[in-house]
């Protein structure tokens, strides 16, 4: 059995990965308490001891506002922590998957979808951290896949972590009877986390390099939220709970979608966002 070490093991992605692949790989999934990626010695000792075939480096501070407000902490974890992981991987000949983000394109004026050759212009600390880590890691280790995620969505599951995402945010607001403000001028890739996890082992078989991963999406953020209402059989509550925000991003529409054709060449593909949303609602039997 191949050995996989996960950093950020208690997070949204890793708890799903570990649950899905528990019988396929010997997995060591370490939360911040067991493995603080900023501790260079602890990182080296832990990786040397487990001697993994693969390391999936998912640990990060991924909250954009927090990173902007605490750039030093963000840099220490998102950049220096990633360097510690890469150096340790190099030491034991482990192959590394670094999870990056669509947010590296947040400052690009031109619209997405962006492919892997497009020059990223990050304008947040989080996006800058991810891009800097990508570039530094390439100098340290050749056995490296950089995988830029779109925005993942899912619903809470027992024992698994959940983060803010379009599906759960919408369902929570509906449960609380709170109004949702959704921009019509915002376009992002939004991908069902289950789909991402299910194809993730294929990454280990493709050439090293940078890849964009996730769903194509032709719907604005407003249209995605509306679709969730409709698929849940709650169309009659749209007027009451969903506010169409036409002002936000009016002057400069936000479009940070990723072109994921490169991965498609290797047989790794995803449903479009609208299909992923429908699948998620069906899986959780929320189509009332």
Ligand X SMILES: NC(=O)c1ccc[n+]([C@@H]2O[C@H](COP(=O)([O-])OP(=O)(O)OC[C@H]3O[C@@H](n4cnc5c(N)ncnc54)[C@H](OP(=O)(O)O)[C@@H]3O)[C@@H](O)[C@H]2O)c1
**Least separation in angstroms between CB 131 and ligand X:** 12
Residue nearest ligand X (C-beta atom): 11
Quote the longest CA-to-CA distance of the chain.
Answer: 59
Closest by CA position to 12, among listed 207, 108, 152, 120:
152
User: What distance in Å separates the CA atoms of residue 143 and residue 89, rounded to the nearest whole number?
Assistant: 9
Residue closer to ligand X, measured from CB, 40 or 230: 40
37 binds ligand X (CB under 6 A): yes
Between 183 and 189, CB nearer to ligand X: 189
Binding string, 138-157, against ligand X, x = CB under 6 A? Answer: -----------x-xx-----
8 binds ligand X (CB under 6 A): yes
The reply on whether position 62 binds ligand X by CB under 6 A is yes
Residues 17-36 that bind ligand X (CB under 6 A): 32, 35-36
Burial of 110 (0-12, 13-18, 19+ CB in 10 A): exposed
Per CB under 6 A, 11 contacts ligand X: yes
Q: Tell whether residue 60 is a contact of ligand X (CB under 6 A).
A: yes
Q: Which helix (H) or strand (E) holds 99?
A: strand 95-101
Among 47, 55, 58, 79, binds ligand X (CB under 6 A): 58
Positions 93 through 112 that interact with ligand X (CB under 6 A) = 99, 101
Instruction: State the minimum distance, in angstroms, from the CB of residue 267 to ligand X.
Output: 22
Instruction: Enter the DSSP assignment of 235.
Output: G
User: For residue 113, is the peptide bond before it cis, meaning its omega torsion is within 30 degrees of 0?
Assistant: yes
Q: Which residues pair with 115 in a beta bridge?
A: none
Radius of gyration of the chain (CA): 19
Window of 4-12, 89-97, 137-145, 221-229 that interacts with ligand X by CB under 6 A: 4-12
The SS3 call for residue 255 is strand
Mapping DSSP to helix (H, G, I), strand (E, B) and coil, where does residue 242 land? strand
**What dihedral do alpha carbons 222, 101, 115, 228 form, nearest 10°?**
-20
Residues 229-248, interacting with ligand X (CB under 6 A): none
What is the footprint of ligand X within residues 260-279 (CB under 6 A)?
none
Site for ligand X in 70-89 (CB under 6 A): 77, 81
Total number of residues binding ligand X (CB under 6 A)? 26
Which residue, 121 or 234, has its beta carbon nearer to ligand X?
Answer: 121
């Amino acid at each position: 059995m191949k050995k996989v070490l996960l950093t950020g093991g208690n997070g949204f992605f890793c708890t799903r990965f570990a649950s899905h692949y528990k019988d396929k790989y010997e997995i060591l999934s370490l939360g911040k308490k067991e493995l603080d990626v900023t501790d260079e010695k602890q990182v080296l000792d832990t990786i040397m001891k487990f001697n993994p075939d693969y390391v999936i480096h998912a640990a990060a501070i991924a909250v954009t506002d927090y990173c902007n407000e605490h750039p030093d902490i963000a840099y220490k974890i998102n950049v220096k922590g990633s360097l510690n992981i890469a150096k340790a991987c190099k030491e034991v000949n482990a192959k590394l998957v670094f999870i990056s983000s669509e947010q590296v394109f947040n400052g690009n004026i031109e619209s997405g979808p962006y492919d892997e050759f497009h020059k990223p212009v990050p304008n947040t600390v989080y996006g800058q951290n991810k891009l800097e880590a990508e570039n530094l890691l390439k100098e340290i280790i050749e056995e490296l896949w950089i995988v830029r995620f779109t925005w993942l969505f899912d619903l809470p599951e027992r024992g698994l972590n959940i983060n803010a995402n379009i599906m759960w945010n919408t369902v929570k607001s509906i449960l609380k009877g709170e109004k949702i403000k959704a921009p019509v001028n915002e376009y992002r890739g939004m991908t069902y986390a289950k789909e991402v996890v299910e194809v993730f082992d294929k990454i280990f078989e493709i050439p090293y390099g940078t890849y964009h991963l996730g769903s194509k999406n032709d719907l604005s953020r407003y249209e995605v939220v509306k679709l969730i209402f409709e698929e849940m059989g709650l169309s009659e509550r749209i007027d009451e709970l969903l506010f169409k925000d036409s002002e936000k991003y009016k002057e400069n529409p936000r479009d940070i979608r990723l072109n994921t054709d490169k991965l498609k060449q290797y047989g790794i593909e995803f449903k479009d966002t609208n299909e992923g949303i429908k699948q998620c609602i069906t899986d959780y039997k929320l189509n009332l």
